[in-house]
Amino acid sequence: MSALGHLVLWTLGFSSTSSATTLNERNALYEHVKGKRRVVEIGVWQGLNTGEFRKLMASDGILYAVDPFPPGRLGFSSIKVIARSNVNKSKHGKVVWLECLGSEAAALCKARDEGPLDFIFIDGDHSYEGIKGDWDAWTPLMATGGIVALHDSAVSENTSATHETGSVVFTENIIKKDARFRLLRQIDSLTILKRV
């Protein structure tokens, strides 16, 4: 189905918001984002997780929603319309939309100088260079004790990631060996680490 067709069905209530995360992955994400003050999601898609993050984070928190939302054939992003609607269902905290790639958004976030980040969910570009760019750009902005979660970073029967997926290779060879972080959990294709 086309993105525009999905938007029409979604608007009429005949289609729901989708996410590439499994139920187990979402539950783990929601557990770790509760009460966090400075939250980032790279790869908003339709805003299912982003909307939940906003509900669960600290009431005075800030949520950086990062996604380039490329326009479709008609010159706008129907996915962006759905995402913003889902995220705006909650008035908890403040949302800053950064419509660019994850690695570019980190510089914009840093320039705002609103303190170190408590929670980052990386679910953008799953190529090796894509996740490397996000990892290198965002992890220096994290608070000690902060949580970083990476989607499609492990092989699981419940997801499409393979041993050749760039994000899986980078996680195994670089992220899991990064002395700044301790592995907390792996759920389906989701890897959760803590900044130590």
The answer to whether position 113 is within a domain reads: yes
Say if CB 159 and CB 187 are below 8 A apart.
Answer: no
Residue 99: inside a domain: yes
- Domain interval for residue 138: 19-195
The predicted structure's pLDDT at residue 6: 63
Question: Is there a domain that residue 65 lies in?
Answer: yes
In a domain, 149, yes or no: yes
Residue 11 in any domain: the answer is no
Query: Mean pLDDT in each 10-residue stretch from start to end of the chain (196 residues)?
Result: 67 73 96 98 96 97 97 88 94 95 95 95 96 97 98 89 93 98 97 98
- pLDDT given at position 14: 67
- Of 193, 187, 135, 195, whose CA–CA distance to 166 is shortest? 135
Number of domains within the chain? 1
Q: Is residue 159, in this structure, part of any structural domain at all?
A: yes
Q: Residue 19: its pLDDT value, please?
A: 82
In a domain, 121, yes or no: yes
- Domain at 136, CATH number: 3.40.50.150
Angle at CA of residue 194, ends 64 and 92, nearest 5°: 30
Within-domain flag for 10 = no
Does residue 166 sit in helix, strand or coil?
Answer: helix
In a 10 Å sphere around its CB, with 0-12 CB exposed, 13-18 middle and 19+ buried, how is residue 59 labelled?
exposed
